[in-house]
Amino acid sequence: MTENTTIETRLAALARSAPDGIFDIVMRKTELADEYTVVDGPTGPAYVAWNGRGITAFVPTEAVGSHDEFESRHPRQASFVDAPPDRLARHLDRTIETGRLGSLPIDLSSIGEFQRKVLEKCSEIPPGEIRPYGWIAREIGNPGAVRAVGTALGRNPVPVLIPCHRVVRTDGRIGNYAYGTPMKRSLLEHEGLDPEAIEAQARRGIRVVGSDTTGIYCYPTCRHAKRITDTHRIEFHSEAAAMEEGYRACKVCRPAA
């Protein structure tokens, strides 16, 4: 019986701890963990994280700091790699270059329905144009949820890629940004907008502009508003004022009607 005990003890001593790496690899292969790297964004380097479903985070490095800080802030486990996989890299470069989401996959699976709708709507705003918070609220069928739209955009996991910097206050002022107003302004500048002019127009109380030849009113940065020549350009303090003059809302930028 003593020999029996010996052999059992010796067998029990063959147990080993699993190597550390196994957990990480399993998390990655099951897409419960993300990979990340640093890429050049429109305003400098940015951390970008992804999993099999798409991009999960995009943050300017200056807003976060070291890799350790990024990893501890990221909602899932994340491990650094040299570059994104090819299937993402191409789309990512294109989105950064054009300012349009295109077919870049974004993983919004852990985001609630309301926020997802807000972010999806936001991604429709073309580069070089801005829309007020109320526009998103109206477009997603919740005209009263202006404040909630602001909150949802403030928690955008992929700013720049989903261009929440193109959403401004209802009074036309540029307003807040998760990474500070200066970054919001420089992102808009990068897309050819003039933040000073936007603010000046807001101070004068201008919300929409119309063309007296077409009888259509637009948000001032709408691509159709930009085509209106100075002699035909009419400024309005509200959508209602434009409608009173017999103007109708642009079907492209869709201001309130």
Partner 1 sequence: MTTDFDRLTNRLAVDFDGAFPDLVTTLQDGVFSGVLQFTRNRQDAEDVTQETFVRVFRALKTYDEDRIRALQIRPWVWTIALNLCRNRARTVKRHPETALVDDRLARTTESAEEVAANADLSVWRQRLAGLTGPQRTAVVLHHVVGLPYAEISGSTGRSESTVRSDARRGLARLRTMLEEETR
Judged by CB under 8 A, does residue 4 bind partner 1?
yes
Considering the complex, what minimum distance in angstroms separates the CB of residue 72 from partner 1? 17
253 given a catalytic annotation: no
- Evaluate whether 230 touches 201 at the Cβ level (below 8 Å): no
Residue of 87, 91, 92, 75 whose CA lies nearest to 38: 92
Q: Does 14 bind partner 1 (CB under 8 A)?
A: yes
80 touches partner 1 by CB under 8 A: no
Residues 1, 2, 5, 15: which binds partner 1 (CB under 8 A)?
Answer: 15
Which is closer to partner 1, CB of 30 or CB of 151?
30
Which is the catalytic residue, given 164, 218, 250, 253? 164
Tokens of 255: 């201001």
User: How far, in Å, are 1, 99, 117, 144, 153 from residue 162 at the CA level?
Assistant: 71, 9, 12, 23, 9
* In the complex, least distance from residue 1 CB atom to partner 1, rounded to whole angstroms: 11
Q: Tokens in use for 229?
A: 């020549």
CB of 53 to partner 1, least distance (A): 12
C-alpha to C-alpha distance for 151 and 111, rounded to whole angstroms: 13
Q: Which helix (H) or strand (E) holds 203?
A: helix 195-203
Phi, psi of 16 (to 5 degrees): -130, 155
CB of 97 to partner 1, least distance (A): 34
According to DSSP, the β-strands at 216-218 and 233-236 are unpaired
Query: CA 159 to CA 59: how far, in whole Å?
Result: 7
- Please identify, among the stretches 10-18, 35-43, 172-180, 197-205, the one whose residues bind partner 1 according to the rule CB under 8 A: 10-18
x/- string (CB under 8 A) for partner 1, residues 23-62? Answer: x-xxx-xx-x------------------------------
Q: Give the binding site for partner 1 (CB under 8 A).
A: 3-4, 7-8, 10-19, 21-23, 25-27, 29-30, 32
Active site residues: 164
